[in-house]
Amino acid sequence: MLGLGAGLIVRPCAPGDTDAVVALWRACGLVVPANDPRLDISRKLAFQPGLFLVAEDAGAVVGAAMAGYEGHRGWIYYLGVHPDRRREGIGRRLVEEAESRLRAFGCPKINLMVRHSNTGVITFYERLGFAPDAVSCMGKRLIDDNARRSARARPVDVTIRPHAPEDTEPLFDAAISSQAEVYRWLPWCHPDYRIEETREWIERCRKAWAERSEFNFIIADPAGRILGVCGLNKLDGPHHAANLGYWVRTSDTGRGVASAAVRLLVAFAFRETDLERLEIVAALENLASRRVAEKSGAIPEGISHSRLSVHGRMHDAAVYAFVRGVHGPR
C-alpha cells in the first residue's frame, strides 16, 4: 500500500467497494450507456484483481483505476479521481502504482485510450510520459450488455416453486418429451427413463429442501404447466457458493423461459440464503445453456479445461457466476 498523505492509501479494490467505485465513476463522468459499471467491476474482480486499484482516504474511495496485462501490452482504464480531490497527486499515484504492478508482470509497454476531446486527461498523461501512437483504435463488442439489461426488463411470465408429489406425472411427461435434447448434456434423461425415477427425484428434492442442502424448483407457466426445472446444488458452506443448473422442455425452449427462471432463482438465493456466489458450468459445445447464462446476466469468467465428464468424455467448460455484490439486493 502507498501512503498519500495522512490516512490516504492505494490498495486493490474489493467487492465491498463496488457501490463507492460506481458512485466515483459517475461523479467523474466515466459511466456511459454502453457499459454497465457493476458488470465491469465484477468482471475485473474475477480477472487480475490485483490490477484494479482504489485510493482510499478515511474510509472513503476518492480515486480508482483499472489496469490489465494480456502478455503483450498493459492497459489502463477507468482512471478517475473525485472532483473534490483533484490536483492532490492522487491520479499520478494511481498510475504509478499500476505501472509498478504491470512492471512486476514483465509488461514492457502500457497503452491507453482517451477521447480526442478530453484534452485535460491527455495533458495529464503527457506529464506522466505517455505519448500518442500512430495507430487506429478499433473495437468489437462480444457481449451486448444493453441487450442483456433489456431482456431483464422484459421478463417472461414464469414462476418457480418447490417440487410436490403431484408433479410426478407432468414432470415425467416434460422429461420424456425432451429426451433427445436433454440427454445429450444431462445423462439422467436416458432413453429408458422411468416414472419411478421422477418420483425418486421429487422425494430427494423435498428431503434436500428440508435439510437446506439443495434448492430445486419446478419452472411453471401462469397456468401451472410444468416447463422444466432449475436449482441450486453442490452447496459449499464454508465458501458460501453453489452450482446453478436448469433444463427446459423442448417445446418451450427459445422463448426466454430458462433465463427468466434463472433470474428468479438468483433472486431467491440472495434473498433467502447466505450464498455469495452461484456458478454455472456449461460445456463449450452446449451453446443453448451458455446463451441462458449470458442472457440472465451471469458474469463470464473464462474456460475451465476438462471440467465436465458427460457420457464418458471430458469436456472443456465455460464458467459463469452470479455474485451477491453485483446481482444481490441493493
Query: Which helix H or strand E contains 153, and what residues bound it?
Result: helix 145-153
Sheet holding 277-283, edge to edge: 159-162, 215-220, 226-236, 241-248, 277-283, 313-323, 299-310
- Residues 212 and 288 both lie in one domain: yes
Q: Are residues 278 and 155 in the same domain?
A: yes
97 and 188 both lie in a single domain:
no
> In the numeric block, which cell numbers belong to residue 317?
467448460
Q: Model confidence over 118-147: pLDDT tens digits?
A: 888 899 999 999 999 988 888 888 776 665
Co-location of 72 and 104 in the same domain: yes
Range of the domain at 299: 149-327
Looking at 137, 163, 193, which one is the last position of a domain? Answer: 137
Angle at 193 between CA 189 and CA 196, to 5 degrees: 120
Q: Are residues 268 and 317 in the same domain?
A: yes
Regarding pTM above 0.75, the answer is: no
The total number of residues shown for the chain amounts to 330
pLDDT tens digits, residue range 78-114?
999 999 999 999 999 999 999 999 999 999 999 998 8
**How many domains does the structure of the chain reveal?**
2
In a domain, 142, yes or no: no
Last residue of a domain, one of 78, 106, 137: 137
Given 105, 137, 169, the domain boundary residue is: 137
> Positive or negative CA dihedral for 318, 323, 329, 330?
negative
Is 170:225 a contact under the CB 8 Å cutoff?
yes
Q: How confident is the model at residue 149 (pLDDT cuts 50, 70, 90)?
A: low
